Structure 1
Amino acid sequence: MIINNVRMVLEQEVVSGSLEVRDGVISSYSETPSQLPQALDGEQDWLLPGLVELHTDNLDKFFTPRPGVDWPAHSAMSSHDALMVASGITTVLDAIGVGDVRDGGHRLDNLEKMIGAIQESRRQNANRADHLLHLRCELPYHATLPLFEQLMNTDILRVVSLMDHSPGQRQYASLEKFREYYQGKYQLTDSEMAVYESEQVALAARWSRPNREAIAALCRERGLALASHDDATAAHVDESCEMGSVIAEFPTTYEAAQHSRDKGLRILMGAPNIVRGGSHSGNVAAHCLATSGLLDILSSDYYPASLLDAAFRLAKDERNSLKLPATIAMVTANPARAIGLADRGRIAEGLRADLVLAHTHHGHAQVRHVWSQGRQVY
């Protein structure tokens, strides 16, 4: 396969030319157009590496599309996979919550159903994207550690994040934002919310620290990439480094992001934060970190289409000096390197032919075609 007449986004520059794929890998690329008539005309659109997503909880939405609705696993997985590739994402770390009692994360059968769907669809070669696993461990619960111990040897597990969403700290330093989110999510009355809030504070005091230490030790033993989550202070970052974290997910303050950089952590922020112009929780805006050189990786988090959109928006943002190769690296090469996936994330000879052809329409980036290992999947 030859893709002709494209603007290829390489790691350091954008070049016009053509690219050839053989046996699922990039065999060569050239800064001159191909003369072969069978070449696909890219019409001067952008040719990017396939996007690499490290933290999306999108799969949950298809398994439970409405409260109380349990959707068939194959259908849920297929629909989720289709949305990923339509967003230009060719490598997905599906983030499964462990320990979130209200969302069913305390039930092993629910977790195993989702993880089993990922594994079975991989075995059947049914997926268009490459799906791997990210376990999001909610620390303030008694069930989190035993559940993690039963899941930690899953063959597709690549990242473990340690999170504490209890009120009054980290993401929810603002109690008003905590109440706004959880009352909206669970439809709690004021009195029910007060009980829930006090329960979360008590659970965090009892379980967060021991669970953090135990799960981090197990990750170090197994060589699993560990991510912190919602660090807000330098002390939080120091604790994350002590645990062995290599990724700082969603630092909530400039101070935490700067200290993460000083400590050598890769800083991950939400692409929706870029698209919306700020954090929905009132925390530090991702574009402010980008302007200061404190942003390495973007994640679509809860909105898959935001990943490509955010990369193009950052490149156009006059508040920073970032060019398109640097912002595309935030959704391709940088996340791939962060978890040791050396065979993808860049347009280079010998790497997986995971590719996205995209164009901009009225200032918005849109996906035209997607290839996974040279096979057109969109």
Structure 2
Amino acid sequence: MTDTSDVVLDRLMTLHPKVIDLVLDRVHRLLEVLDHPETRLPPVIHIAGTNGKGSTLAMLRAGLEGAGDRCHAYTSPHLARFHERIRLAGTLISEDRLSDLLAECEAANGGAPITYFEITTVAALLAFSRTPADWTLLEVGLGGRLDATNVVNPALTVITPVSMDHEGFLGDTIEKIAAEKAGILKPGVPCIVGPQDDAALDVIEYRAARLNAPLHIHGQHWHVSEENGALVFQDENGLMDLPPPRLIGAHQIQNAGMAVAALRLLDRAQGAPAAMRDATWPARMQRLSHGPLVEAAGTCELWLDGGHNPAAGAALAEALTRLPPRPLHLICGMLNTKDAAGYMRPLAAQATHLHAVSIPGEANTLSAAETRAAAERAGLTATEDRSVAEAIARIVATEPDARILICGSLYLAGRVLRDNG
């Protein structure tokens, strides 16, 4: 009997003592054993950055599909099931195919050290090499220069806004982090550059100049804005009036701009309306509309967001201003690798209260007590709860017309989506 994908994934977790170990040697070794599937992919669009990678990819995929093309897509992390990471020609990978691919990569690896992300990335590339499609959309997992996805020769790269995150792996300054993200640039390959801090942009421009990689930079070569409820995009080819993005928040205007800039460059501008209208991206200001947690919330609104760094906190705070006023309660759980107080600080002016929880099943979770302490440092009134369900019950009992936002981590968001069916 063939092992399920979960069984194989559990075994793959044991092949390396570290979850993250940023070198490319192990990936190149396994790709060579498998006869280099990374050289047989449909044209690749490679996306790096700190915030907005997934949303930009979702809009770009919707736009390309709206133009009639078929897209592979690789994203991480998953929320409820690993299968979410691999989309083959528009459809999530099946259980049978995923199990077979993982087993094939496990056998080819021969028990050698390799991280979970590295070997599963190779499995995705192998799947993409065997399935016809028009495009391959790859989201960087961490950084760019030494990320396991950085083994391709892309047709286009995209660098979304760079900000402070993962400092222990990428560096403790915006310049160092930008240098890691700019590691996806390739000689002569154009790059769409989203809004950037000046210091980050300087690094990206320096790297691009050395590689003769043409840049298409927000604010210089293209502009995007929201005007009278519409999205307005302009570049040297002219003006486009589009529907507003389906995804909520001012930061999604920027992400939409990057997607449209890419569609223009790929000669797929006819897909831009679909990019705005059809894109979905779970746990990014997602309103939950059904399930046991929604039922428990009663007349309260229940929202979910997986952002987890200070820039994401600021974007979330802005997005909340676009909603009709309601008392706001945060249910927050975070990893101990994040700047928790920095994430929460932009939200302090809007939230009535923060309910701190730990993330079930995550070894690197902050405890509820640690999350509460971070909230208090950020200027929030906070208490501890044993679970999301307990926090919802407490809020409903005291403020039945509240807006409840579960936030702070994609890992918490994934647990919520699984628990909520």
TM-score normalised over the length of structure 1? 0.32
Q: Which has the higher contact order (CA 8 A, sep 6+)?
A: 1
Q: Higher strand fraction: Structure 1 or Structure 2?
A: 1
> With structure 2 as the length reference, what TM-score do the two structures score?
0.30
